[in-house]
Structure 1
Amino acid sequence: MSEIDNLQKADGIEENKLPINNDDATKKTSSEINEEFPAETLEAANDETSSQTSEVIKEDNTEVKENEKEDTENEDVINEIEASNAEDAEDEGNKERHTIEVKEYDKMSLESLAIEFEKLLKNEKIQAIRSHANDINNEFKTKFQALLDEKKADFLNDGGNEIDFYYTSPVQKRFKAAYKEYRNKLNDHYKSLEKNLKQNLSHKLEIIEELKGLLNLEENINTTYKHFKELQERWRNTGPIPRDKYNNAWNSYHHHVERFYDFLHLNRDLRDLDFKHNLDKKLKIIERAEELAKDDNITRAFRELQELHKMWKEELGPVERSKREDIWERFKNATKIINDKRQEYYKEIDKVYEKNLENKLEIIAKIEAIAAQESKSHSSWQKKIKDIEALRNDFFNAGKVPIKVNEATWSKFKQAVRSFNKNKNAFYKGLKKEQYENLQKKLELIKIAEDNKNSEDTDVTTVLMKKIQSDWKKIGHVPRKDSDKIWKQFKAACNHYFDKLHSKRNAASQEQIDAYNKKQDLLNGLKKITLSGEKDKDLSTIKEQVDKWKKIGRVPNDKRYIEGKFNKTLDGLFSNLKMDKNEVEMIKYENKLDTLNSGENNITNLDNERSFIKKKIDEVKGQINQLENNLQFFTNVDDENPLVKDVHNNIKKHNEDLKLWKSKLRKIKDLY
């Protein structure tokens, strides 16, 4: 239990009854002053009871000014405490307010703010969360407005008209419902409070009237004193009153308490006993205040200091006049130390706020710089949008700024973001025409895909489908509202065709495996053939086997090596025949062309083969020209010269190769 609790318990005082003021020495009656102070100190005593701007009669002007300055500073602190307690006097929830944690609402998301507000509403007294509710509400409105601006910008980018814009969200509805409940509960609280405040004020005024009447009672002084103590207890136990009536009511009450103590000069024992009791309690309050002056928790120390002032003013009566000045000065000095530390604490907080302000201004400057940059591509704008979003988050997480510049800083931030959004909107409005043209191009591709999705001409259609897929990727953006719809439509048509194609290929795979098995059997049989030695008959036999091979059909791609084995076997058979080399080569080439022309990509395969042969023809012609040019260097040389003969032989060989390549090219052209 704290010292302040002990003091309250010892004096039979309940917690949180009435607020605080400075000293019991507020308004002194003229009878007291005339009785206990000589004429030369009368002015000092009167000054002590009003604003306490001067403690004694000064001997020189310099000392007067210094003391007046110090007293004014002290009085400012006392007035601040007095004003706070006067406000709290109207609301019994003030102590709870001090114990509720104030979180960093500026760093919370919209959803977190709504959750925190609901938790306060559920777990705390309605009057105790007033400042928290205001802070959370202001933060929510600020962040939701930023979100609203962003959604509005997106709406305008998509071609919407500003007058048609509307946006709401579940978290907004949730917060509005909680805030409405808070306002209703708070209104109900104040209606009930207003009635109680008026009743309590009426009771306290009645107590004041009874205090007045004590001076006129003709009864034993002990009985009157007992009655006086009962009135004091009733005053303490009466609840809060309106704040605007608090000081007047307390001053009137204290005035008549002082008058009663004047009246007690007839029985000094009772008065001295009360003075001693009050002095003991006030000394304990001073000791506690001096302990608080050493406390590092400034906020907690100042809150308890308010309670001590409250007890000093509201719960305790005066002490003997000779000691009033000394104990009040001692209490004020402890108060000043605590307040000085508090002011230093707030200066440090102000430094943090100033640093936060610097950070926020730097963030705003970065946003302004990005907004001023020119960008002519969608990708560039998308990067800038991400950068701005990151800066917006940094701004919201940068902490509080001094309250005097808070509104201006927020306004400057909104203006910077609004400038960026304006430029962004202008860019995307310029893209609307291009996006519409892109939409028409993609719609044309969709029509091609849908018109050909059931085609059976797989060789042509497969190439076409792949081409329009490539073209689709090259076309730029379309309006966002159409993007998903047309993509699904295009994708469905393409998938329909390729699913059908793959299904057909899967069905054909078994047929190709069977073809491979048949060719393997044919190849094994071909290896066992024994030729008769008659050229024409043997050639007919070989061609017959080649025809059978062609008719079997395609084999799986991973089994195409069997074609090489077949050609190698043919080479062995042809080597036993006395046939022209080019004739044998053309027989084998016809079989190769048949294989190339039977696949799914036959056109592509034939095109590649034709390009290859043309290239070979050009190479052979180049070699022949080179050799013929070389002959020109052999002048006056006999044709029987070995070098000359070698060149002529090479030319002859290349001409035979050229003839073969040309024959192959004619065969390919025949297929076209």
Structure 2
Amino acid sequence: MSDINKLPEAEETNKSNSNENSIELDGNQNVESASLKDAETTHDAIEGDKKLEAAVGKTENEKEENPNSVEEQDEVINEIEESNAEDAEDEGNKDRHKIKVKEYDTMSLESLAIELEKLLKNEKVQAIKSHVDHINAVFKTKFQALLDEKKEDFVNDGGNEIDFYYSSPIQKRYKEAYKAYRKKVNEHYQSLEKNLKQNLADKLEIIEELKGLLNLEENINTTYKHFKELQDRWRNTGPIPRDKYNNAWNSYHHHVERFYDFLHLNRDLRDLDFKHNLEKKLLIIERAEELAKDDNVMRSFRELQELHKMWKEELGPVGREHREDIWERFKAATKTINDKRQLYYKDIDKIHEKNLEVKLQIIANIDAINAQESKSHSAWQKKIKAIEEQREAFFNAGKVPIKVNENTWTKFKESVRTFNRQKNAFYKGLKKDQYKNLQLKLDLIKIAEDNKDSDDFEVTTPLMKKIQSDWKKTGHVPRKDSDKIWKQFKAACNHYFDRIHAKRNAASQEQVDAYNKKNELLSTLKGLKLPSDKDKGLATIKEYIKQWKTLGRVPNDKRYIEGKFQKIIDGLLTRLKMDKNEVEMIKYENKLDSLNTSDDNRNLDNEHSFIRKKIDEVNSQINQLENNLQFFTNVDEDNPLVKDVHNNIKAHKESLNLLKNKLSKIKELY
């Protein structure tokens, strides 16, 4: 607070007397700050404005001009004193404005749980109440929406509503954090209650000592020094129970007044206090006038409340010739800040109205999507994505006026539920088609298994190829059956074609000769010493690979020799200091040559499917890692965990490039 923070402690003061040397209180009491409690919330902040405006709006002169307002003025003072008592009971609440208020409404369930854990770990438990209340309200609303969707899906899939159960790890994590918060709150208030009682006893003891000052027969300077020590002790004693606050404060000020009456005998000490208080109050006024020019309305108002608290509770009276002037000047700055704050809240209302327009448009967008007719799986997938985008936009649109909040939320839920009902109806029909397809494929499996041992190759081979073609043309089946029936069908077809290949291999003397030659070449490669030059070494290996290819195919039951050759070549390539991806591609090309030995390309088909599957898996892992990065908000890029994620993404992308190169090589062979 600029120079205000540098002020030395000043003595406390209290209500004024009619005596010339008495201490001013009425004017001071009229500037007591409104409660800081829950100032983050709109409702309490507006109430604070009303209290402060009412408190500073009526001076003693105004009371004389409008005597009918005295009762109203007393009511305001009572409210302010109750507010001060509430604040004084828990001084930890002073820190709550230092905690940044985030856009909790736009956060995901997981982000809300993480944010609660951070607040609990890094902040005082008494300072985070409004934040936790907001997080808790948003979490409950969003989780209930998720629960409603899961329940509706469960019922639409044929489940009984009474049997529905849904458990979420995020919900469990959040509940644990919230339970820890409640425990800390209880511990805090148990400790606070004990301290409040002790502080009350200490302050009552100070009051008793103040009473005794008037009866001491000692030098006035010694007595005044003792008085100042008691004031310091009073200020340094912590908070007391709120129901005792006003009585203790009034009693303390009553005896301070009596001491100042007593001090009338020594004008020098009294005038020195008046001068000191005037200097400090002028500094407070100057700071208030600076705040009146500040564009940050909420920050200015919060600091203004502290200035009023200092004016009332920390500084004593000034000379009568200055009292009205400085009070009017302070009141004028206060009114300027308060007027700006009222305008700020009018703007907030406009923002909420704008948010309402956005949310109503989102609901209209969802209704428009619901009106679209979709008859294919791909069309419904697009609609599902569009609805999810609208749903996220709704949650990110911000607050709406409280009076329409519940109604807007109800409309949104009903629109989303309508979509879910339509989606579930479509996929129920799709499941019926899938079960029909399942039966068709089971029939194809029976044909394959009935003919897999047939020796009439001329008739059976076209039949087996036809059912393979029919299998591809038949649509999707239920996911739970897909892998099982495919393996069964594939096994029957492979069994048949393996028998054909085995018969051909047995009758091929050429393939037997090729096997013998390849066996001899393997013996040569086992003792091969490569040149020290990398390029010459690579050329030597490629020459042997080329030679191997020229030897031709081997019998089907001797194909294991290709694996032996591949293993030896892999070992030789490893000994060369080459780029690992280049080595991998040379190995892979050699592997493909060994696979490309069938007339029906079955081995290549299997390899092609395997590589495609690996590419999908790596893409999925990259997407997951990149999504994980989004949870690292406000985290430095040098953070070890963030670095590790980036390194994983880089490694997966390198692997993806290698897989794509392999896929290209396979396509070249078709």
Residue in structure 1 matched with residue 637 of structure 2 by the alignment: none
Cα deviation code 1:98-132 (max 9, x no counterpart): 22222222222222222222222222222222222
Residue in structure 1 matched with residue 9 of structure 2 by the alignment: 11
Over 3 Å counting, the alpha-carbon distance change for 1:271 and 1:2 in structure 2 is same
SS at match of 1:93: helix
SS at match of 2:264: helix
Alignment of 1:423-462 (within 5 A): 423-426=422-425, 428=427, 439-458=438-457, 460-461=459-460
CA distance in 2, matches of 1:162, 1:474: 39
Q: How many residues align?
A: 491
Question: Quick one: which amino acid aligns to residue 196 of structure 1?
Answer: N
Residue in structure 2 matched with residue 27 of structure 1 by the alignment: 15
Over 3 Å counting, the alpha-carbon distance change for 1:293 and 1:84 in structure 2 is farther
1:484 aligns with 2:479: yes
Q: 1:453, 1:494 within 8 Å by CA — same for their partners in 2?
A: no
Cα deviation code 1:374-415 (max 9, x no counterpart): 666655544433322221111112123334443443333223
Q: CA deviation at 1:348?
A: 2.7
SS at match of 1:266: coil
Over 3 Å counting, the alpha-carbon distance change for 1:434 and 1:338 in structure 2 is same
Q: CA deviation at 1:476?
A: 6.2
Q: 1:435, 1:476 within 8 Å by CA — same for their partners in 2?
A: yes
Q: CA deviation at 1:367?
A: 2.4
1:122 aligns with 2:121: yes
TM-score by length of 1: 0.63
Residue in structure 2 matched with residue 418 of structure 1 by the alignment: 417
Q: CA deviation at 1:466?
A: 5.3
Over 3 Å counting, the alpha-carbon distance change for 1:235 and 1:58 in structure 2 is closer
Unaligned runs of 5+ in 1: 14-22, 38-42, 517-555, 557-598, 601-672
Over 3 Å counting, the alpha-carbon distance change for 1:195 and 1:154 in structure 2 is same
Q: 1:458, 1:501 within 8 Å by CA — same for their partners in 2?
A: no
Q: CA deviation at 1:188?
A: 0.8
CA distance in 1, matches of 2:402, 2:149: 26
CA distance in 2, matches of 1:294, 1:80: 29
Alignment of 1:286-305 (within 5 A): 286-305=285-304
Q: CA deviation at 1:459?
A: 5.2
Higher alpha-carbon deviation: 483-492 or 469-478: 469-478
Residue in structure 1 matched with residue 220 of structure 2 by the alignment: 221
Cα deviation code 1:405-439 (max 9, x no counterpart): 43443333223323333444455556666665555
Over 3 Å counting, the alpha-carbon distance change for 1:96 and 1:297 in structure 2 is same
Identity of aligned residues (%): 70
1:499 aligns with 2:499: no
Q: 2:106, 2:398 within 8 Å by CA — same for their partners in 1?
A: yes
Q: 1:295, 1:301 within 8 Å by CA — same for their partners in 2?
A: yes
Unaligned runs of 5+ in 2: 33-53, 512-552, 554-598, 601-670
Higher alpha-carbon deviation: 43-52 or 299-308: 43-52
Alignment of 1:218-617 (within 5 A): 218-371=217-370, 380-426=379-425, 428=427, 439-458=438-457, 460-461=459-460, 463-465=462-464, 468=467, 483-500=478-495, 503=498
Q: 1:105, 1:139 within 8 Å by CA — same for their partners in 2?
A: yes
Over 3 Å counting, the alpha-carbon distance change for 1:204 and 1:408 in structure 2 is farther
Q: CA deviation at 1:494?
A: 2.5
Residue in structure 1 matched with residue 195 of structure 2 by the alignment: 196
Over 3 Å counting, the alpha-carbon distance change for 1:238 and 1:116 in structure 2 is same
Question: Quick one: which amino acid aligns to residue 325 of structure 1?
Answer: E
Q: CA deviation at 1:358?
A: 1.4
SS at match of 1:32: coil
Q: CA deviation at 1:249?
A: 3.3
Alignment of 1:163-174 (within 5 A): 163-174=162-173
Q: CA deviation at 1:196?
A: 1.0
Over 3 Å counting, the alpha-carbon distance change for 1:36 and 1:156 in structure 2 is closer
Q: CA deviation at 1:285?
A: 1.0
Q: 1:156, 1:425 within 8 Å by CA — same for their partners in 2?
A: no
Over 3 Å counting, the alpha-carbon distance change for 1:375 and 1:279 in structure 2 is same
Over 3 Å counting, the alpha-carbon distance change for 1:338 and 1:467 in structure 2 is farther
SS at match of 2:228: helix
Q: 2:207, 2:251 within 8 Å by CA — same for their partners in 1?
A: yes
Over 3 Å counting, the alpha-carbon distance change for 1:184 and 1:224 in structure 2 is same
Over 3 Å counting, the alpha-carbon distance change for 1:475 and 1:209 in structure 2 is farther
What root-mean-square deviation, in Å, do the aligned CA atoms of Structure 1 and Structure 2 show?
A: 4.4
TM-score by length of 2: 0.63
Q: 1:48, 1:55 within 8 Å by CA — same for their partners in 2?
A: no
Question: Quick one: which amino acid aligns to residue 6 of structure 2?
Answer: N
Q: 2:207, 2:252 within 8 Å by CA — same for their partners in 1?
A: yes
Q: 1:371, 1:419 within 8 Å by CA — same for their partners in 2?
A: yes
Higher alpha-carbon deviation: 278-287 or 92-101: 92-101
Question: Quick one: which amino acid aligns to residue 491 of structure 1?
Answer: W
Higher alpha-carbon deviation: 378-387 or 105-114: 378-387
SS at match of 2:158: coil
Higher alpha-carbon deviation: 277-286 or 434-443: 434-443
Over 3 Å counting, the alpha-carbon distance change for 1:455 and 1:310 in structure 2 is farther
Q: 1:211, 1:231 within 8 Å by CA — same for their partners in 2?
A: yes
Question: Quick one: which amino acid aligns to residue 482 of structure 2?
Answer: W
Q: 2:437, 2:475 within 8 Å by CA — same for their partners in 1?
A: yes
Over 3 Å counting, the alpha-carbon distance change for 1:243 and 1:360 in structure 2 is farther
Over 3 Å counting, the alpha-carbon distance change for 1:452 and 1:81 in structure 2 is farther
SS at match of 2:19: helix
Q: 1:106, 1:139 within 8 Å by CA — same for their partners in 2?
A: yes
Q: CA deviation at 1:52?
A: 6.9
CA distance in 2, matches of 1:150, 1:115: 24
Q: 1:453, 1:493 within 8 Å by CA — same for their partners in 2?
A: no
Q: CA deviation at 1:499?
A: 3.1
Higher alpha-carbon deviation: 353-362 or 146-155: 146-155
Over 3 Å counting, the alpha-carbon distance change for 1:494 and 1:218 in structure 2 is same
CA distance in 1, matches of 2:127, 2:27: 42
Over 3 Å counting, the alpha-carbon distance change for 1:56 and 1:185 in structure 2 is closer
SS at match of 2:265: helix
Question: Quick one: which amino acid aligns to residue 493 of structure 1?
Answer: Q
Over 3 Å counting, the alpha-carbon distance change for 1:92 and 1:421 in structure 2 is same
SS at match of 1:89: helix
Cα deviation code 1:67-99 (max 9, x no counterpart): 989x999x98x9998776544322232343222
SS at match of 2:399: coil
Q: 2:366, 2:387 within 8 Å by CA — same for their partners in 1?
A: yes
SS at match of 2:128: helix
Question: Quick one: which amino acid aligns to residue 5 of structure 1?
Answer: N
CA distance in 1, matches of 2:255, 2:185: 37
Alignment of 1:144-155 (within 5 A): 144-155=143-154
CA distance in 2, matches of 1:180, 1:186: 10
Over 3 Å counting, the alpha-carbon distance change for 1:204 and 1:112 in structure 2 is same
The structure with the larger Rg is 1
Q: CA deviation at 1:57?
A: 5.7
CA distance in 1, matches of 2:379, 2:106: 29
